[in-house]
Amino acid sequence: MKSADSFSVAFRTDASLLIGTGHVMRCLALADALRARGAQTTFIARQQPGDLIDHLAREGHEVIRLPELSPRITDDDGERTAHADWLGTGWRKDVSDVRVAVGVRSFDWLIVDHYALDARCERVLRELAPRIMVIDDLADRDHDCDLLLDQNLYPDMALRYARRVPEVTRQLLGPRYALLRPGFAAVRGRSRDGSVRRLLVFFGGVDAANQTGRVIGLLPRALPARVEVDVVIGAAHPHRAGIEAACTQAGYSCYVQTGRMAELMAAADLAIGAGGTAVWERACTGLPALVWPLAENQREQVATAADAGLLHAPSQVSHDDEVLVRHIAALCDSPHLLRALSAVGAAAVDGAGVARVCRALGCSGVTLRRVSADDADALFAWRNCETVRKVSRNSDPIPRPVHDAWLADTLARADRRLLVGERNGVSVGVVRFDLTGDEAEVSIYLAPGEHAAGAGGDLLAAAERWLALDRSAGVCKIRAEVAGDNAPSRHMFLSAGYRPDAARFLKRIHPDD
């Protein structure tokens, strides 16, 4: 298994502001998490007026810049991709530019997040990486990929890409995989009583139709007295000056290209905004929202989320000012609805999507090594820690002679693998595999004091990959037994793709029965 610091990932994404910042920001959230796990990250993006390439570089990621095209070329001998105009050139020219810019380098994964790229491009780009992940939400073109991520919610989610990707492609579908920055998960848990004291207005980084200005102009007629208003816009908003002036006149707070979105969402009681990634950011923070789509690719997302009770999205508010005013006023006077929207949203998006995707890529940031006799003292102390004993089959303290005998036996056995997981040189936890034929039973616990979110899932993912590479084990199936009252472990295994087996029963018997 590769160590984390030799794990390399390249992102081929659209850094243009012409179609919003969603591609860059979701890729950036994933790249930051991969880098935190020790991976090397590189962005491959074409230079365009107003692009976000410099922002990526300022965030500390390597950027390979494709040359700006002038004039833009979109003809590829009749073989245009579905959204060729967003590429700036024909797909063959784009792939050629990528190969020249990258040179002889290669990567472990190539992540493609660009509406104008499809299976034809991806097949050629496999020269750069043996494995490809595609991020998509349109499902309108074929892909040649090993992993596909669509973080949105649709009625036909399980069948959406059935004929668009190879049968062997693993699909990560739904908002539990939403690529959110860690700040959103950090502010979860605020109790909301349904009253509206603070409103957040945010329509994404572009908002070419200036829905922000429209809403600001209508708020005095819609809001109860003494409601504070926060307005967020991007630095490139075409009506920035007018919005800033209107906010000053109305006494609203205006934030331009802020890094405090999670904080602002946590502080608000109601939001007004658009579809896209912001849907999942608001849901994660439990922020109820009045939403309408600003782009065609947001329509189905917003409608499905509204049907699921994640947000409020009456159709006429997008174009009828009077209807919008009435709905804002009604929401401010509907505490039961606001509490319901908050609860459903928070239940659907837990903020751990980035960690799940990192594990699917095989980058947990955890390295495994076989336990040796030198680990006896640490293992003895960890095993007798109350937090570990509480989740063990035998919750009694283990005497040192008994533990030493067990460890000696374990190290001598060919049907057992005992591993210590480490991240950045610090022990994360212990994993044991007991082998029976082609099956292994896994036991896992975190080292005392290890409380990082997702640490158990990272340790488990790393251990599974370690076992898969252990040819001598010959294992093709892993099982886990979890006590009925150990909810965190049950959640961890379910999140890792384990399926419950209802055919196993347990009964304790006593001599007096």
Q: Which two tokens stand for residue 468?
A: 């898969």
Overall average pLDDT of the 366-394 stretch:
90
Q: Give the separation between CA 263 and CA 80, rounded to whole angstroms.
A: 43
How many residues are listed for the chain in this entry?
513
Overall average pLDDT of the 454-462 stretch:
88
Higher pLDDT, 296 or 203: 203
Q: Give the separation between CA 244 and CA 388, rounded to whole angstroms.
A: 55
Task: Give per-residue pLDDT as tens, 231-272.
Answer: 999 888 999 999 999 999 999 999 998 999 999 999 999 999
Q: Which two tokens stand for residue 320?
A: 């009828």
Task: Give per-residue pLDDT as tens, 44-65.
Answer: 999 887 788 998 999 999 999 9
Cα–Cα nearest to 299, from 154, 147, 433, 103? 154
Mean pLDDT over all residues of the chain? 90
Which residues are within 8 A (CB) of 105 and not within 5 positions of it... i.e. 6 or more apart? 128
The pLDDT of residue 99 is 96
pLDDT confidence bin for 73, thresholds 50/70/90: low
Q: DSSP letter for 447, please.
A: P
Percentage of the chain lying above the pLDDT 70 cut: 93
With contact defined as beta carbons under 8 Å apart, do 352 and 185 qualify? yes
Residue written as token pair 């349904």: 194
The pLDDT of residue 393 is 77
Task: Give per-residue pLDDT as tens, 345-373.
Answer: 999 999 999 999 999 998 988 999 999 99
pLDDT confidence bin for 20, thresholds 50/70/90: low
- Its pTM stands at 0.84
With contact defined as beta carbons under 8 Å apart, do 463 and 441 qualify? no
Cβ atoms within 10 Å, residue 79: 11
Residue 506 has pLDDT above 80, yes or no: no
Task: Give per-residue pLDDT as tens, 88-124.
Answer: 788 999 999 999 999 999 999 999 999 999 999 999 9
Which residues are within 8 A (CB) of 166 and not within 5 positions of it... i.e. 6 or more apart? 144, 145
Q: Dihedral sign for Cα 263, 269, 273, 275, please.
A: positive
Q: Dihedral sign for Cα 480, 481, 487, 488, please.
A: negative
Residue 483 has pLDDT above 90, yes or no: no
With contact defined as beta carbons under 8 Å apart, do 229 and 219 qualify? yes
Peptide bond into 335 cis (omega under 30): no
Peptide bond into 71 cis (omega under 30): yes
Q: Give the separation between CA 462 and CA 451, rounded to whole angstroms.
A: 17
Q: Give the separation between CA 205 and CA 22, rounded to whole angstroms.
A: 9
The pLDDT of residue 508 is 64
Cα–Cα nearest to 180, from 349, 364, 58? 349
Residue 19 has pLDDT above 60, yes or no: no
Task: Give per-residue pLDDT as tens, 172-231.
Answer: 999 999 999 999 999 998 889 999 999 999 998 788 899 999 999 999 999 999 999 999
Task: Give per-residue pLDDT as tens, 397-454.
Answer: 999 999 999 999 999 999 999 999 998 889 999 999 999 999 999 999 999 887 766 7
The pLDDT of residue 491 is 81
The pLDDT of residue 78 is 55
Which residues are within 8 A (CB) of 307 and not within 5 positions of it... i.e. 6 or more apart? 155
Long-range contacts of residues 166-174, Cβ cutoff 8 Å, at least 24 apart: 169/143, 169/145, 170/146, 170/360, 171/147, 172/147, 172/148, 172/356, 172/357, 172/360, 173/149, 174/150
Cβ atoms within 10 Å, residue 304: 17
Residue 490 has pLDDT above 80, yes or no: yes
The pLDDT of residue 86 is 76
